[in-house]
Structure 1
Amino acid sequence: MLARSSLARATVAAPAALGRAPAGARNMATLREIELRLKSVRNIEKITKSMKMIASTKLAKAQRAMNSGKEYGVANVEVFDHAKSDQPSENKIIIVISSDKGLCGGIHSSVTKATRRLLAGAPDAPIKTDVSPDTPIFIVGDKSKAQLSRATGGNLRMTFNQIGKDVPTFSDASAVTDLIIKSGVPFDSAIIVYNKFVSAISYESAAVEVKGEKALKESDGFKAYEMEDDVTKDLAEFSLANAIFSALTEAHACEISARRNAMDNASKNATDMIGSLQMQYNRGRQAAITNELVDIITGASAL
């Protein structure tokens, strides 16, 4: 009786001991799972390399457009240098320049953080000026809209999209300026927050302030001349359109450059992951072949 019970316990315990899986066997990937993952990573690598090539092709065109657009900004700076006004602007607005597309690193977060620092009056704000926390905000691009609407949703007055799908034109800047003026939000100056192009691999957030019609009329440079009211009004609108166009072209060049760098890094990471998965797959395949050979040799020896 004791012998039978001992034999039963040994029979039950033996298969459990022989067929027991390792401690982490449930989480171990099979060869089929590794093969599928390897295939998906290779497809991602092809996509990121293609996007990198497309961004590299567009970068030269974007840089040429940026250099042409900067001439408009230089003309604005010269006008406002000769039309300085000591009286502070009471009503200000903020225009944030971003885009609708992603996969370009933290370029949209850069202008979003700069806008928040500007509203908070932080010492590291992109421009030294007095801005109240409830300053109206106009946003070009859905990416910054999604980020700013969570923290400063009450400040949003108008958003624009479908701008910057290709190289921005002066017509796009004029349309944005026209809608801002017709929005009914009064302003004496506009602060444009955008990404400044430093080099093909770097950018930084920047801001520029554009004076409105009232500030131009009160400046000593304009008081020296007799001009009609429509002239000053048209000049203020044209100056705002110039500044927006310059910011759009520079932000577009930054976006293309950032997307190229992001896709380059993604391609390198995919290549490293493919090498790691390939080694893991080869080791698992060799282990499976070794186990099959051991079974064949054991069976042949038993015969």
Structure 2
Amino acid sequence: MLCQGIKFLTLTAAQQQQTQQRGMATLKSISIRLKSVKNIQKITQSMKMVSAAKYNRAERDLKQAKPLGQGSKIFYEQAEVTPVEGDTNKLMVAVTSDRGLCGAVHTGISRNIRDTLLANASERENTKIVCIGEKSRAILQRLFAKNILFVATEVGRKPPTFNDAAKITIELMNSGYSFGSGKIIFNRFRSVVSYVIDELPLYSKQSVTSASKISLYDSLDNDVIQSYLEFSLASMLFYSMKEGACSEQSSRMTAMDNASKNAGEMIDSLTLTFNRTRQAVITRELIEIISGAAALE
């Protein structure tokens, strides 16, 4: 009986050790995950604060850039400029940036262009795309690699300037691509939690010169019209980039705030699980100790 008792106690000790190891492994894994989630929460909170500061600056800059873009748009509307019949070449400019973690700001613009081109096969063959930012290029290149005219990178790290828009305009003018009409697709800022996809029209020099009400403007020759077209293109690009930057920062601020809240909820859940698991391990060990002591009596 003594030998059997010793054997019984030996098995119990081994089972106790295995149970303890399993419990510690579970506690350790929960602890590691809890620590990683806390670190992620610190990062998202820091990114939210940085985005909030950048958003305030972007909103101030947007107020100064609005007259440039809206003035060019009003000119085309007042002169009743329309695309030249027979010229099927079109241009689409996607205004995004190189940075992510800002919700569906960039994917919405890319989806808009994708749906437009997939809906009309003939329009797809005669349309070129200019991608401002790597995010739009990464999405549109999968289906429309042949349609991409060029890509402007290094966008979004710093606030956009008129010089950046001028460089894109010069690159477009020197690309050799002649288009009858086009549009700039960008995110128009509405509020801190809201933005909408908007468009600005683009027209060729022939469309402007043949407009029905272009005679309302005096002293317009070919050189003046060409100079204004280049300036208006740069102005609308600058305005759309400012709108996109403001929308991007506000969306990133909202996304990081939601991520921080989700991380907080996950931390509470993991903390509760950790405490319950630790309590279960302690209770199990006490039961095994009491059972072993009772077997010795």
Q: Report if TM-score (shorter chain) is over 0.5.
A: yes
Structure 2 partner of 1:286: 279
Residue 220 of structure 1 aligns to a residue whose secondary structure is coil
| Alignment partners' CA distance in 2, 1:119 and 1:221 | 32
Give the 3-state SS of the residue equivalent to 2:200 in structure 1.
Answer: strand
Identical-pair percentage: 37
Q: Structure 2: give runs of 5+ residues left out of the alignment.
A: 1-6, 16-21
Q: C-alpha offsets along residues 16-71 of structure 1, whole Å, 9 cap, x if unaligned?
A: 9x96xxxxxx9x97111000000000000000011011111111111111121111
- Is 1:60 paired with 2:56? yes
CA 30–202 in structure 1, closer or farther in 2 if over 3 Å, else same: same
Q: Residues of 2 paired with 1:147 and 1:114: CA distance?
A: 11
| SS in structure 2 of the partner of residue 30 of structure 1 | helix
Q: Say which of 111, 118, 123 aligns to 1:132.
A: 123
1:261 aligns to 2:257 (yes or no): no
Contact 1:66 1:246 in 2 (8 A): yes
After TM superposition, the structure 1 = structure 2 runs for residues 38-117 of structure 1, keeping only pairs within 5 Å, are 38-86=34-82, 87-88=84-85, 90-117=88-115
> In the alignment, is residue 296 of structure 1 matched against residue 273 of structure 2?
no
Runs of 4+ in 1 over 6 A off after TM superposition: none
TM-score, normalised on structure 2?
0.86
Q: Tell me whether 68-77 or 31-40 shows the greater mean CA deviation.
A: 68-77
Q: Once the 2 structures are TM-superposed, how far is the Cα of residue 131 of structure 1 from its aligned partner?
A: 8.1
Task: Give 1:212 deviation, angstroms.
Answer: 2.3
CA distance in 1, matches of 2:243, 2:212: 31
Q: Deviations over 1:252-299 (max 9, x none)?
A: 001001101110111111111111111111011111111222233334
Contact preservation (8 Å) 1:210, 1:240: yes
The structure with the largest helix share of the pair is 2
**Cα distance between partner residues in 1 of 2:210 and 2:113:** 28
- Shift of residue 211, structure 1, vs aligned partner: 1.8
Distance in 2 (CA, whole Å) between partners of 1:70 and 1:289 is 66
Query: What CA distance in whole angstroms lies between the structure 2 residues aligned with 1:159 and 1:256?
Result: 22
- Whole-angstrom CA distance in 2 between matches of 1:246 and 1:121: 29
- Measured in 2, the distance between the counterparts of 1:131 and 1:64 equals 42
What residue number does 1:243 align with? 236
Write the mapping of 1:142-181 to structure 2, written as runs, cut at 5 A.
Answer: 142-181=134-173
- Aligned-pair CA distance for 1:79: 1.2
Instruction: Tell me the number of residue pairs that the alignment of Structure 1 and Structure 2 aligns.
Output: 283
Q: Is the 8 A contact 2:97 2:135 kept in 1?
A: yes
Tell me, in whole angstroms, the C-alpha distance in 2 between the residues paired with 1:156 and 1:121.
18
Contact 2:133 2:152 in 1 (8 A): yes
1:271 to 264, 267, 270: 264
C-alpha contact 2:187 2:244 (8 A) present in aligned 1: yes
- Rounded to whole Å, the distance in 2 between the matches of 1:131 and 1:160 is 26
- Identify the residue that residue 205 of structure 2 maps to in structure 1: 213
CA contact (8 A) 1:194 1:251 kept: yes
Taking the TM superposition and a 5 Å limit, the aligned residue runs for 1:167-206 are: 167-206=159-198
Distance in 1, matches of 2:215 and 2:237, equals: 26
For residue 252 of structure 1, what is the aligned residue in structure 2? 245
Letter in 2 for 1:232: I
RMSD between aligned alpha carbons?
3.0
Paired residues of 1:111 and 1:205 also in contact (CA < 8 A)? yes
2:3 alignment counterpart = none
| CA distance, structure 2, for counterparts of residue 66 and residue 39 of structure 1 | 40
* In structure 1, distance between residues paired with 2:269 and 2:207: 63
